[in-house]
Structure 1
Amino acid sequence: MVVDLVVIGVAITLGPLHNSGFILLLGSRGGVRKGLAFLLSWLANLVVVIACVVLLTGGTPPVHHTTPSTAADAAKLAIGVGLVLFGIYRLRRPPRPHKPPSWTGRIDSASLGTAAALAWLLQPWALVGAGAATAVDADLSSLTDWLALTAYCLLATLSILAMELYAARAPGAAQARLNALKAWLERHQDQLVVMLSLLVGLWLTASGTYALVA
């Protein structure tokens, strides 16, 4: 479980779409406050999903090869296969110019509530679902599992947390460097999406398959 959560958490935090959107939000009027609203909403989303899983399992992992255990492993396998297929599709698709989403033109006038809602919109739900399926195996009587779940939520938030702190401490320098990072992410968005989809998809496929047959 721990290794799976680390892989999923790293994949979430490296996602180019939400990182580009967050940098754009930080560069808007009142960007640090909007960034904080986005950050807290993003983290709350992860915590709520994990909390729902824990409530369903009662904090005790289901017995291996029972229906709940098999369903969670099958979900992980299905998400992995889906990510691999998506990565192959994006790899074979002819390159096309990226148009900025319509919401980017209204970012300066966005409220804190809109910034918080944007975090839910940009959340990579397939990976969050994979994290939830993995968290089914958490045993809350074990300190190690508590730390693993906490580390997963923090790791999946690490990139936007680092950018928020940087923008708050050194706004001038941060804006220039983050804009350069945003430009790089946009130039390499397709390659990053393909790489993350294939690598994480293959990992989840192997992990789910092993759990089902072992």
Structure 2
Amino acid sequence: MVLDLLLIGLAVTLFPLPVMAFVLVLASPRGVRKGLVFILAWVACLVLVITLVLVLTGGTPPAPRSPPSVAALWASLLFGVGLVGYGVYRWRRVRRGAAAPKASEEAPATAHEGASLWSAAALAVLLQPWGMVGAAAATVVQADLSEAGSFVALAAFCLVATSSLLAMELSMVFAPERSANVLMGLHGWLRRHKEPAVIGVCLALGLWLISRGLYQLA
């Protein structure tokens, strides 16, 4: 469970779409404050999903090969298939030369100038990579709250999944002028390389989930 959660958390924090939007949030008026709200809403989504799973399981993992355990494995496998399918879809769009950003992807980011604190929170919810978070939820089913290691693993997942946002937020707090230039450079780089990054993250995590799911179901 620990390795799976860390890999999923790494994929979440490296996913370029929320990172690009967060850079623009930080660059807007009162950007640091809006960035903090964005991060709080982001973490709240992760904590809510984890809490819902733990409530359903009672904090005790289902017995191996039991229907709930098998259902969680199938859910993780299906999330993996979905991520691979999404990665292949984006790759085919690039091959067809149709990789121009969709309005639904760019509009939230480009509308940052007039964003309020509530808008920043809503943006965090909308841009959460929910397929990856769903895969994490299927993994959290294995958490055993009677063991301290499970708490550490869950906290580590939330921290890793938020680490890129935290790093950018702290950089703007302690070195705003220097960080602003660096972050806008990062945004420009991501705009140019967004498609390969999205495809790579989705395919890598999706194939891992599929291989792990097939192995455990065999």
- TM-score under structure 1 normalisation? 0.96
| Equivalent residue in structure 2 for 1:170, among 170, 175, 198 | 175
* 2:185 pairs with 1:180: yes
Q: Which residue of 1 aligns with 2:149?
A: 144
CA–CA separation in structure 2 for the residues paired with 1:153 and 1:55: 18
- TM-score under structure 2 normalisation? 0.94
Q: Which residue of 2 aligns with 1:126?
A: 131
How far apart are 1:107 and its partner, in Å? 1.6
Write out per-residue CA displacement over residues 89-116 of structure 1, whole angstroms, 9 at most, x where no aligned residue. 2222223322562234432221111101
Q: Which amino acid aligns with 2:100?
A: P
CA–CA separation in structure 2 for the residues paired with 1:179 and 1:3: 32
CA–CA separation in structure 2 for the residues paired with 1:92 and 1:125: 22
Q: In structure 1, list runs of 5 or more residues that go unmatched.
A: none
CA–CA separation in structure 2 for the residues paired with 1:83 and 1:163: 26
| Equivalent residue in structure 2 for 1:208, among 204, 207, 213 | 213
How far apart are 1:141 and its partner, in Å? 0.7
Query: Contact between 2:63 and 2:69, CA under 8 Å: does it hold in 1?
Result: yes
Q: Which amino acid aligns with 2:153?
A: A
* 2:101 pairs with 1:98: yes
Cα 1:99–1:136, aligned 2, differ >3 Å: closer, same or farther? Answer: closer
Q: Which amino acid aligns with 1:121?
A: L
Runs (4+) of structure 1 exceeding 4 A deviation are none
Q: Which amino acid aligns with 1:168?
A: V
Write out per-residue CA displacement over residues 188-212 of structure 1, whole angstroms, 9 at most, x where no aligned residue. 1000111111110000001111222
CA–CA separation in structure 2 for the residues paired with 1:82 and 1:99: 20
Write out per-residue CA displacement over residues 103-148 of structure 1, whole angstroms, 9 at most, x where no aligned residue. 3443222111110111000000000000000000000111111100
Q: Which amino acid aligns with 1:138?
A: A
Write out per-residue CA displacement over residues 14-63 of structure 1, whole angstroms, 9 at most, x where no aligned residue. 00000000000000011000000000110111011001111110110001
SS in 2 for 1:108: helix
* 2:164 pairs with 1:159: yes
CA–CA separation in structure 2 for the residues paired with 1:99 and 1:152: 30
- Structure with bigger helix share is 2
CA–CA separation in structure 2 for the residues paired with 1:50 and 1:102: 29
Cα 1:105–1:15, aligned 2, differ >3 Å: closer, same or farther? Answer: closer
CA–CA separation in structure 1 for the residues paired with 2:118 and 2:111: 14
Q: Which residue of 2 aligns with 1:67?
A: 67
